[in-house]
Structures are given as structure tokens and as C-alpha cells.
Amino acid sequence: MNPVRRIAARVARGADRIAFPPAASAHEHWQRVVMNEAVEARIAALGPESLRAAEISGDLHASKRWKEYVALAWPDFDICAPLTEERRFDLVICEQVLEHVPDPCAAVDNLRALCAPGGRVIVSTPFLIKVHEFPSYGMLDYWRFTPRGLRTLLEGAGLEIESVDSWGNRQCVIGNFSDWSAHRRWHSLRDEPDFPVQVWAVARRPE
């Protein structure tokens, strides 16, 4: 690359970081703002203080006032493997996991099995997001699900869909090209349904 093009590329990268500053943590992710608000509202409506909850490969919801809470984390807990966990939960939360499992059907079967009859699962997964892998941690990237695809996957496991939602727009898709962009006041939260960045669902295990 000649010097002029090299300087132009550096300027462009700098401009991108100003327009789309990288997030310091998942809590700052622009792509998650609308989804997080929707999930928080759903959990609040269920009444966490009366629920036995399990969170798969994360602990973002650990601080809520649950009746009981457990985090089931990879690699000690493999959502695709036969279950050894005998407890059943009123709510199973599985966020940003299904894209990383080799067998999503087995994973969703296990989500259902972890639920007590009448219990619910909350599942979220990205769609228009770059490939993201952590091979040293054993975390690869396999799948993307549209809203219809996530509904079909959950229904195939015998879960009753209560809601399927998505959020995204072209600007957010572009903002995540290099880094996971933090949300800033100039970033639109307008939804463009044809450009879903995140997809999430609430489903119930029949009694």
C-alpha cells in the first residue's frame, strides 16, 4: 500500500472509532439495548422473587432477587450433552449461546428439559453479526437464526411460543463491522425489521 493510501486508511479507521466507539463490556453494546430492555421487562413481569432460575453460560442476571439462582457455564456445563442436572427451573435464560453450539436442536431439547412444567425459557441469539469465535476457549461460531427460524427451533423441541421479537437497523450492522459498538446518543434505536441484529424469544414448557 502506498503512503497516501496508508494515511487515508488510518484516517478512516479513526473516523470509524469516533462514530462507532468500541464497547467496554456487553452492557454497553448498541446491538443489545432494545433486547435487554425487553428481556428485563419480561423478567420483571414474571416476578423473579418467586422463580427458581438458571442462566446458561452467563451471569448477567445473577443480581436479581430470585427465589433461587444458578449459573450453568461452559465448559463445566455443556448444553448439548445429556443432562446430569436433576433440578428443574421456573425460568431458564440462554442468551447469545445458540450460535456457538454444534447441535442447536439438542441444546433446545435440553433447555426444555431444564424447565419445570409450566416453566419458561428466554433465548436470544444474533443474526446480522460478524463471525465471532474464541477457539482457545472451545467456542466456535456455527449458526444464525431469523425470527422465524428461532420460532421453528423452539417449537420443534415442544415449547409453546409466547413471543418472538427482533431488533436491528443498517446503521447498527455497519457499526459492528470492526468492533462491538457502544451505544451513544447519536445512534438510532429505530427498528428496521429486514435488518435484525438480535433475535429473542420467550417460550413455555407445557404443563
pLDDT of 136 reads 73
Domains in the chain (CATH in brackets) are 23-204 (3.40.50.150)
Q: C-alpha grid cell for residue 47? A: 416476578
pLDDT of 19 reads 83
Residue 14, classed as helix, strand or coil, is helix
Pairing of strands 115-126, 89-95: parallel
- The pTM score is 0.88
Residue 159, classed as helix, strand or coil, is coil
Percent of the chain with pLDDT over 90: 72
pLDDT of 53 reads 97
pLDDT of 22 reads 86
- Is residue 8 predicted with pLDDT exceeding 50? no
